[in-house]
Amino acid sequence: MTAPDADRLARSMLALLGHEDDEHPTGNRQTSGTWSKAPDFATDPERAAAVREASARDRERYLNSGLTPVDCRFCHVTVAVKKLGAGHTAVQWSSEATLRCATFAEVRANGGDSSRSRSCPKLSDSIKHAVAEGCLEEESTAPSPGDG
């Protein structure tokens, strides 16, 4: 007994599940030569614009929801912070902040890789200070990006 042709088997499974094979069209169907998971709504500009707008809102929410700028009291870099609970703090570093951070600069000067550093202790102190001053919520009340 010979093994079935994997490509033929995969196409038959897709057909069985009701999916069309966009990469290997059959018959007279015209294709643009590109494939996408989502339609581009090229024939419906109004809907395409609405999808672009919704995607931009989603992107902004996923990247920035609940983040607060916090300045390091030692080297004065600014990072975006969201406290998710007592044991978890999300910190988004910009390229500039990573380069200007005194602790990370010291790691690099000693031949280390600052991207492997768990955190900057001086920034951690600044985050605690921001919470104590009321500039940063101890636990974010912003909805999670997936709750939307």
More confident residue, 47 or 1: 47
pTM above 0.85, yes or no: no
**Of the candidates 90, 86, 116, 89, which has an alpha carbon nearest to the alpha carbon of residue 103?**
116
What H or E segment, with its residue span, contains residue 82? strand 78-85
Q: What is the pLDDT of residues 29-40, one digit of tens each?
A: 455 556 667 777
Contact in structure between 100 and 106 (CB atoms under 8 Å): no
